[in-house]
Chains A and B, each alone.
Chain A
């Protein structure tokens, strides 16, 4: 878990004396962004992507509550997401069938309750261990629930999953959940509410203690708290918020299959949190935005997008273990100190080296994809065929140049993280 240990100290000591305005400003900014987005991207595709981002923002934040806040590396966070989602889905079906006077708008709360309850029951044995055993147990539980998902057809619908209709029950706030644009406001509301609640959690005594448990669990019993109990409670709350994200997904997609429990979902949320950065509250938000964008946009251009997500993950773990957030923090620090002008050349050259390296890798990967099936790669007026040597030579040259530059920069830049690719 050394990578995680390296990722965590980036967490800045939480300012106890920040001014009220400084505390409120990011939330006003967030609200403004949520309000403005539909006018910037009013297309159907835009809403589809933004809604997916919103769900994953909540999911990734709940994951970071576990990992960043509690130091618990879970490989099974999809379990709570899925269980919350199915609970909300069944409720949605029930609203339709039994004509219950429950607004669909509130279904994420059903997801929250289901996630919390499932986390309370299954979390009891899981949280009896910490560290690597904890990670292994979550992996096991994840596989177990994924398998159970296919076995219990009445609950999870088998391979076809469970379908629902979100345009049922009473309306809330006069919001029509039929069109994607209507769903956007539903998602935006819950993203804001859940993020605010999770942020508030970090400020509570339990939130502060979970940082202490993450930092040094052996000391905690000697200040009067049971670290196992702290972990368990944090685990429950994180499961609840994962379930809330699942409830959002149920309403947004109107279909859930047991695939949702799979390792892919659990792996994805880990990637989002890690790539965004565990050390800052907003880190996972950046990660969720980036990963969903890569998923939905890159996949139009290349079959290799998952490979690129993997490479990005590796690159960040190796060169910027604090994720995107650590780069933002580093930049902000430099601006505050007023030495960003001196640092800018190092950042620019780092970014350039990184871009050259990335271009080379992409070129090689895309050529390799085309080696079977034989299409040509056309870009910038060049037509490169996997059968010709030209493309491969350019690719290898770019990779060598980029890697060489990076090496040169990191070797020279021992004055902190200035020469890291930013």
Chain B
């Protein structure tokens, strides 16, 4: 069964149709990339899936349950977590606190005000695990706003995966990184999404073709092709619409 499924998804802002009927099925455990030129609607698609805004029509299904129309925090609680293209972390809080806030709900802590956060052993343990996973042990007490750009991007991923979501959406996780930083990020993404379903928007074709099991090409709000990296590379429509000489 598909973990994440989009059915005839549409989004218009006024008279502008941004997403024009997208159907997509991502099976459990698949790493699926969405590529497409600027303005194709990739970020809007992520916003629709994660509940940042509701679709004009169509549905988003998570593990067979309809999640479209629900607020983002309910979608997150159901096991879908996303990162942001522009780093979106808690800048004045320490790296550790960023992660601890991100693990709380998944461990069953609601809006709790009769327990000390520091005394929650499971939250501490999980936060430490993620801290180690994203390679920021040394920066545990550093305010997130003071981290280097690459470390902030790693923390962004850490905050996204900390709650243990089954389906992870990453929005251009390597944007603005050097080659070496990108390699480290890809390695990190591989490790943290092991066994999970991943939907990733990425501009770096090296990253996309190296990481993805399947790729969908979004152009003007429509998916013009879906397939394995080899199929996408060989698809003449894709070459014409988007890849051009890049993939040649």
Of listed B97, B100, B111, residue having the most chain A CB within 10 A: B111
Q: Which of A205, A215, A223, A233 contacts B93 (CB 8 A)?
A: A215
Binds B, one of A10-18, A161-169, A260-268, A321-329: A10-18
State how many residues of chain B have any CB contact under 8 Å with chain A: 43
Residue of B nearest to A11 (CB): B92
- Tell me whether A216 and B89 are in contact in the complex, defined as CB-CB below 8 angstroms, given that A13-B97, A221-B72, A224-B76 are known contacts: yes
Q: Is A303 an interface residue (CB 8 A)?
A: no
Q: Which residues of A sit under 8 angstroms from B153, Cβ to Cβ?
A: none
Q: Is A230 an interface residue (CB 8 A)?
A: yes
* A205 and B113 contacting across the interface, CB-CB below 8 Å: yes
- Contacts of A285-299 to chain B: CB distance below 8 A: none
Chain A interface extent, by class: 20 to 34
Q: Which residues of B sit under 8 angstroms from A229, Cβ to Cβ?
A: 111
Q: Mark A325-345, 1 if CB is under 8 A from B, else 0.
A: 000000000000000000000
Q: Is B101 an interface residue (CB 8 A)?
A: yes
Q: Is B208 an interface residue (CB 8 A)?
A: no
Residue of A nearest to B51 (CB): A221
Residue of B nearest to A215 (CB): B90
* A204 and B101 contacting across the interface, CB-CB below 8 Å: no
* B97 and A9 contacting across the interface, CB-CB below 8 Å: no
Q: Which residues of A sit under 8 angstroms from B90, Cβ to Cβ?
A: 211-212, 215-216, 219
* B163 and A230 contacting across the interface, CB-CB below 8 Å: no
User: Closest Cβ of chain B: how far from A359's Cβ, in Å?
Assistant: 37
Of listed B92, B96, B120, B163, residue having the most chain A CB within 10 A: B92
User: Closest Cβ of chain B: how far from A101's Cβ, in Å?
Assistant: 29
* A203 and B73 contacting across the interface, CB-CB below 8 Å: no
- Contacts of B88-114 to chain A: CB distance below 8 A: 88-94, 96-97, 100-102, 104-106, 109, 111-114
User: Closest Cβ of chain A: how far from B215's Cβ, in Å?
Assistant: 25
Q: Is B179 an interface residue (CB 8 A)?
A: no
Residue of B nearest to A220 (CB): B73
Q: Is B71 an interface residue (CB 8 A)?
A: yes
* B111 and A219 contacting across the interface, CB-CB below 8 Å: no
* B113 and A226 contacting across the interface, CB-CB below 8 Å: no
Residue of B nearest to A223 (CB): B102
Q: Which residues of A sit under 8 angstroms from B109, Cβ to Cβ?
A: 205
Q: Which residues of B sit under 8 angstroms from A225, Cβ to Cβ?
A: 73, 104-105, 111
Q: Which of A11, A13, A224 contacts B141 (CB 8 A)?
A: A13
Of listed A13, A201, A224, residue having the most chain B CB within 10 A: A224
* B73 and A224 contacting across the interface, CB-CB below 8 Å: yes
Bound state CA distance, A215 and B101, in angstroms?
Answer: 12
* B117 and A212 contacting across the interface, CB-CB below 8 Å: no
- Tell me whether A218 and B141 are in contact in the complex, defined as CB-CB below 8 angstroms, given that A203-B117, A203-B118, A223-B101 are known contacts: no
Residue of A nearest to B81 (CB): A222
* B94 and A13 contacting across the interface, CB-CB below 8 Å: yes
- Tell me whether A209 and B93 are in contact in the complex, defined as CB-CB below 8 angstroms, given that A13-B141, A203-B118 are known contacts: no
User: Closest Cβ of chain A: how far from B85's Cβ, in Å?
Assistant: 13
Q: Is A207 an interface residue (CB 8 A)?
A: yes
* B89 and A204 contacting across the interface, CB-CB below 8 Å: no
Bound state CA distance, A237 and B106, in angstroms?
Answer: 25
Q: Is B68 an interface residue (CB 8 A)?
A: no
Q: Which residues of A sit under 8 angstroms from B142, Cβ to Cβ?
A: 13
Q: Is A389 an interface residue (CB 8 A)?
A: no
User: Closest Cβ of chain A: how far from B173's Cβ, in Å?
Assistant: 15
Q: Is A175 an interface residue (CB 8 A)?
A: no
Residue of B nearest to A211 (CB): B93
- Tell me whether A215 and B100 are in contact in the complex, defined as CB-CB below 8 angstroms, given that A205-B112, A233-B111 are known contacts: no
Q: Which residues of A sit under 8 angstroms from B82, Cβ to Cβ?
A: 222
- Tell me whether A209 and B111 are in contact in the complex, defined as CB-CB below 8 angstroms, given that A13-B93, A221-B76, A222-B76 are known contacts: yes
* B72 and A222 contacting across the interface, CB-CB below 8 Å: yes
Q: Which residues of B sit under 8 angstroms from A224, Cβ to Cβ?
A: 73, 76-77, 104-106, 163
Bound state CA distance, A13 and B159, in angstroms?
Answer: 17
Q: Is B143 an interface residue (CB 8 A)?
A: yes
* A201 and B113 contacting across the interface, CB-CB below 8 Å: yes
Bound state CA distance, A212 and B92, in angstroms?
Answer: 9
* B88 and A16 contacting across the interface, CB-CB below 8 Å: no
Bound state CA distance, A146 and B87, in angstroms?
Answer: 44
17 contacts between A and B (CB under 8 A): A13-B92, A13-B97, A16-B97, A201-B113, A203-B116, A205-B111, A207-B117, A208-B100, A208-B104, A211-B90, A212-B90, A219-B89, A219-B159, A223-B159, A223-B163, A226-B73, A233-B111
Interface pairs A-B: 10 shortest CB-CB: A224-B105, A221-B72, A13-B94, A205-B112, A206-B113, A221-B73, A215-B90, A224-B76, A223-B102, A204-B113
With A211-B97, A222-B82, A223-B76 given, name 19 new contacts (CB 8 A).
Answer: A14-B94, A14-B97, A16-B94, A203-B116, A205-B117, A208-B100, A208-B104, A208-B117, A211-B90, A216-B89, A219-B88, A221-B51, A221-B73, A222-B73, A222-B88, A224-B76, A224-B77, A225-B73, A225-B105
